[in-house]
Structure 1
Amino acid sequence: MASSVPGPFPLPDSKFDLSTYWGRVRHCSEISDPFMLLTTENQLKNARKIVSSYRRGELKDPSPEFWHAKKQLDSTVHPDTGETVLLPFRMSCCVLSNLVVTAGMLTPGLGIAGTVFWQWANQSLNVAINSANANKSHPMSNSQLATNYAMAVTASCGVAVGLNKIVPRLQNISANSRLVLGRLVPFAAVVSAGVINVFLMRGSEIQKGISVYDKNGDEVGTSKKAAFLAVGETALSRVINATPIMVLPPLLLVRLQKGVLKGKSLTVQTLANLGLILGTSLAALPFALGVFPQYQRIDVHKLEDHLKNQKDQHGDTIKQVWFNRGI
């Protein structure tokens, strides 16, 4: 993220008003823009130079070139480390990375083996994305990563397999209701395991706290309360993001299979399913990401005592601090 570029002058957060939901949606649509995947290393180096010139005060006013450079960095590098996020795990690749596993999970008629495989694939991808985009105040050890990964996969597979066995046994509902409930089993598994996944993968942040910064970008200290807020909001955003993607396509597909897709080949139905998932994902992701600001501020009186009554580099009392929520 552009905030990882050092300099005495603070960067504007966005060309959009991040204090409003619509402003955050527009900002997140830029971060998740799939065209940013075409950004090369040379373009990133040039983007860092442009942003650095602003941070050093050489570039006085944000220009279109500056905003494009900031967009490239915001969608490609980690805000804490400044390192390039591995391509499949960037938010600009989120829709494409999730397309195949989501289609697999929503495939009708999966047996136990198929259900377990696709839930494993989905949670593996979630673990990688959570790890790559988490707040890096306290990096997770390999043993912690392996343990949390196993627990997340076990949770998702357990929920999915359990519900797949329960739904067919429901006797007091119509066959159509059972069909609809069966199509929504992946949603229940993804939501429950997704929340568990976030808290497991980022539990060390809550235990140790995350770094908080003053308005000049200088670290003030660490806060467990800010960490709990960051992780909790991220978990909730996962639910918000998964709801339209895991609910609308399967319900629409049931409707289409009774109409225009009736009697069509498996290939046609699969392509229709992929199209529904892709369209819903592209539309829903910015709205889900925009619910909570990624880099947000909080009054110090809401945090731990050791963060209160501190002064910044200019000798002013710090009343508010900022932290990276992670994505």
Structure 2
Amino acid sequence: MASSVPGPRELPDSQYNLNTYWGRVCHSAGVSDPFMLLVTKKDLDESTALVSKYKNGEISKMTPQLWHAKKVLDSTLHPDTGNPVLLPFRMSSYVLSNLVVTVGMLTPNMGTGGVLFWHIANQSLNVAVNTANSNKSHPLTTKQLATSYTLAVTASCSVALGLNSLVPKLKSLSAHTRLVLGRLVPFAAVVSAGIVNVFLMRGEEIRKGISVFDDKTGEQLDGTSQVAAVYAVGETAISRIVNAAPVMAIPPLILVRLQRRFVMSKRVEMLSNLGLILVTSFAALPFALGLFPQRQVFDVSKLEERFARMRTSNGEHVKRVSFNRGM
């Protein structure tokens, strides 16, 4: 993010009012803009130089060029490390990276092997995205990463296979109802495993706490906060559920209705499924990311009691703290 560029002067958080949901949606649409994937190293260096000039007082006010430079940095750099997030795991690549595995999971009438393959692929991608965009106060070890990945994959595949075997046994329901429920099995599996995935991949943050900063000065406070970590991880899990819900539920339900009204070849069915998922994914992502601010600001009374007694380097009591929620 642009906040990682050094300088005594702070950039405005956004062109939009981040205290409102719609403002955060508009801001998130910029961060997740797929055109940001076309940013080159030269573009990144130029944007960093421009933002640096503003933060060091060489540019007096925000301009359209500066807002674009901030958008480039916000969509490319990790807010904690200041390093570029690996391209396939940026929010600007989220829809495109998930497209193939989502289409795979929503493919009707897959066998056990297909279900296992696509849910393993989905959880592998989730692990990579969660790791790349998490708060970096406490990076996971290789062992913790492997354990969390295994548990998340197990949860996803267990739910998917369990529900796939259960739905056909519901003889009291009509064939159409069983068909609809069968198409929603991937949604149930993805949501349940997604929650497990976020909490496992970022569990170290909850156990050890995350870094918090004085909101007025930006100064990092002594120690870490487990309370802030619970908020950060919990809000991320909720936003992932909100993002998955329309993507995993709307396309299969629309496809069922289309199949009832029209005779569709396999190719037309596949293309229709792909188009529905793509449109729904692009529409849903900003609304999910905008649920909560990425950089949260809390009154110090909401955190552990010790933070209320802290003072900044200039001797003032800490009143409000900020922290990176992650994405």
Q: Could you tell me the TM-score, scaled by structure 1's length?
A: 0.98
1:217 aligns with 2:211: no
How far residue 309 of structure 1 moved from its aligned partner, in angstroms, is 2.8
What pairs with 1:102-141 in structure 2 (closer than 5 Å)? 102-141=102-141
What does 1:33-182 align with in structure 2 at a 5 Å threshold? Answer: 33-182=33-182
Once residues 259 and 69 of structure 1 are traced to their aligned partners in structure 2, the CA distance between those partners, rounded to angstroms, is 49
Which one of 253, 267, 274 corresponds to residue 251 of structure 1? Answer: 253
Report the Cα distance in structure 2 between the residues aligned to 1:8 and 1:313, rounded to whole angstroms. Answer: 15
Match of 1:237?
239
Answer yes or no: is the 8 Å Cα contact 1:205–1:224 preserved in 2.
yes
Q: Which residue of 2 aligns with 1:31?
A: 31
1:96 CA displacement: 0.3
| Partners of 1:61 and 1:317 in 2: CA distance | 31
Residues in 1 aligned to 2:62 and 2:209: alpha-carbon distance in whole angstroms: 34
Distance of 1:313 and 1:245 partners within structure 2: 48
Contact 1:34 1:92 in 2 (8 A): yes
Aligned counterparts of 2:241 and 2:136: Cα–Cα separation in 1:
23
Equivalent residues, number: 325
Percent identity reads 62
Partner amino acid for 2:214?
A: D
The structural deviation recorded for 1:316 is: 2.5
Counterpart of 1:277 in structure 2 is 277
Q: Partners in 2 of 1:162 and 1:311 — Cα distance? A: 54
Rounded to whole Å, the distance in 2 between the matches of 1:165 and 1:111 is 11
Aligned to 1:226: 228
Q: Secondary structure at the match of 2:244?
A: helix
CA RMSD of aligned residues (A): 0.9
SS of residue in 2 equivalent to 1:258: helix
Distance apart, 1:81 and its partner CA: 0.2
Tell me, what secondary structure is at the counterpart of 2:261?
coil
2:18 counterpart SS class = coil
Residue type of the alignment partner of 1:87 = L
Q: SS of the counterpart of 2:36? A: helix
Counterpart AA for 1:252 = I
Moved more, 233-242 or 48-57: 48-57
Q: Distance in 2 between matches of 1:60 and 1:137?
A: 33
Unaligned runs of 5+ in 2: none
Retained in 2: the 8 A contact 1:152–1:196? yes
In structure 2, give the amino acid aligned to 1:292. Answer: F
Structure 1 runs (4+) deviating above 6 angstroms are none
Give distance in 2, aligned partners of 1:211 and 1:140: 16
Aligned-pair distance for 1:51?
Answer: 1.0
Give the drift of 1:305: 2.0
Deviation, structure 1 residue 307: 1.3
Amino acid at match of 2:277: I
Between 1:196-205 and 1:48-57, the stretch displaced more is 48-57
Partner of 1:309: 309
1:153-183: CA deviation from partner (whole Å, max 9, x where unpaired):
0110010000000000001110000000000
Per the TM alignment, residue 312 of structure 1 is displaced from its structure 2 partner at its CA by 2.7
Structure 1 residue ranges without an equivalent (≥5): none
Map of 1:310-325 to 2, 5 A cutoff?
Answer: 310-325=310-325
Output one character per residue of 1:77-106: Cα deviation in whole Å (capped at 9) or x when no partner. Answer: 100001111111000000000111000000
SS at match of 1:75: helix
1:219, distance to aligned residue in structure 2 (A): 0.6
CA distance in 2, matches of 1:267, 1:183: 18
